[in-house]
Structure 1
Amino acid sequence: MLKTFATLLLMVCLVSCTTVGNKFDPAKINQLQPQVSTIEDATALLGPPMAQSALPEGDMLYQWQYAQGTLVGGSGAHVAIVFDAEGTMVKVQHISRTDM
C-alpha cells in the first residue's frame, strides 16, 4: 500500500506544473504592425498585459510575461511593446522566450 502511494505521489509531482502570468505565444507578435496595430489588437492576440508603464511624451509600455515550471523543466516569455498616447503601436521594445 505504501509503495503504491509513493509511486502515485511521484507521478503527480512529475506531471504537475506551475504557471505565473497568462501563457501566450510570442510568435504572434509578428501579426502586429507598428503605426497600424492597437492595444486592443495586442490584447486580442496575447491576452491581458501583466504590466503597463507610462513613458515620456505620453507613450505607454505594455508588457506580457509568463513563466511555467515543472519538476522536469520550464518555459517562459516576455514581450514589451510601446504604444503612443492614442493607443497605436510604436515598436516592439523587447521579446524573449525560454524553453528548458
Structure 2
Amino acid sequence: MKNLVGLIITLSLSACAAAGNKFDASKINTLIPGVTTLDSATQELGRSAATETNEDGSKLVKWKYATASLVGTHFDGVAILFGPDGKMMRITKQESH
C-alpha cells in the first residue's frame, strides 16, 4: 500500500507542466503609463516572453506564464505597449485560474 501511494504521488508530480517565465503579476499595478520604461518594466517583471516591434517604432512586449497539472491550469499574462520613446503607453492584462 505504501508503494502504491508513493507511485500515485510520483505520477501526480510528473504530470505537471509549465511554460513561459514566471513573474509577479501584483507588480503590474506599479507600472505607470508615460513614466515606466521597458527597462524598468523588465526589472519589475523579469524577462519577457515575446516582443513585437511596430512600424512606428512602438513595441508590444508580452509576459506569459502558464502551468498545468492534474488539478487544473493557471495562466498569467500581460501585454504592455511601449511608445517609440520607450515609455509605457498602456497595459492589457489577462488572467485565468
Normalized against structure 2, the TM-score is what?
Answer: 0.87
Point out where structure 1 has 5 or more consecutive residues left out of the alignment. Answer: none
Q: Which amino acid aligns with 1:67?
A: A
CA separation in 1, counterparts of 2:7 and 2:63? 34
CA separation in 1, counterparts of 2:84 and 2:10? 48
Point out where structure 2 has 5 or more consecutive residues left out of the alignment. Answer: none
What RMSD over aligned residues (CA atoms) do the two structures have, in Å? 1.5
Aligned twin of 1:11: 9
1:85-96 matched pairs, under 5 angstroms: 85-92=84-91, 94-96=92-94
Aligned residues: 96
Q: Percent identity at matched positions?
A: 35
CA separation in 2, counterparts of 1:31 and 1:57? 26
Normalized against structure 1, the TM-score is what?
Answer: 0.85
Aligned twin of 1:80: 79
